Amino acid sequence: MRLIFLGPPGAGKGTQAARVSERWGIPQLSTGDMLRAAVAAGTPVGREAKAIMDSGALVPDAVVVGIVADRIEEPDAKGGFILDGFPRTVAQADALDAMLASKGMGLDTVVEFVVDEAILVERIATRARETEARGEPVRKDDNPEVFKTRLEAYRQQTAPLSAHYAGKGMLDRVDGMQPIDAVTEQLVALLTKYQG
Ligand code: AMP
């Protein structure tokens, strides 16, 4: 299965992608995670991305498209993958289409996590508190001010992807405001129809 999980930051895409990844044995490809790893490793990409990510803005399309193109080539992605946090712009979606077409691949579906954005700000504050309680460092971009910038970036640059994929007849939706297990259930029921 080749999937895209679409939704604003804090909608639960990452949590659900991890579960789907485990259930179907396909990797979760999170551009946010890959960029954070590049920042931690101090690679050229990481050095370019760090300040942008800390501000909550989007890293240039060429950077993330390159990262994803390389990652999709790895053996564990042969049987499919879940793209989490990519594409983030229509230009990235077009680049992804071209990239997949050149490999003779297509997407099965795009799953949009529908959420109440007002509640997301609270969720993100909770996530920051929980991370702190575990003694782990809180992501700089998870503070409420930067989170609002990320939400705004989502609204302006990423939300149009919903209509973009709906227009291609490729959009499914899940109610992301349900409890975590209920979202998983809805997702599993939905994805079962795409399994090979
Ligand atoms: P995330 O963990 O998906 O919320 O991503 C964290 C940050 O990484 C974002 O706020 C962006 O700065 C950057 N990022 C992640 N994915 C992308 C992408 N597809 N395009 C541009 N920037 C991205």
Residue with the smallest CA separation from ligand 1 atom 8 is: 32
Amino acid at 167: G
The answer to whether the CB of 15 falls within 8 A of the CB of 129 is: no
pLDDT of residue 145: 83
81-119 tens-digit pLDDT: 999 999 999 999 999 999 999 989 999 999 999 999 888
Active site residue 13: yes
DSSP three-state, residue 173: strand
Tell me: pLDDT of 123 over 80.
Answer: no
Active site residue 155: no
What's the whole-model pTM score? 0.92
Active site residue 173: no
Q: What does the DSSP 8-state code read for residue 5?
A: E
132-158 tens-digit pLDDT: 899 998 878 888 788 889 999 999 999
CA-CA distance, 47 to 40, in Å (whole number)? 9
For ligand 1, what atom is nearest to the CA of residue 88?
19
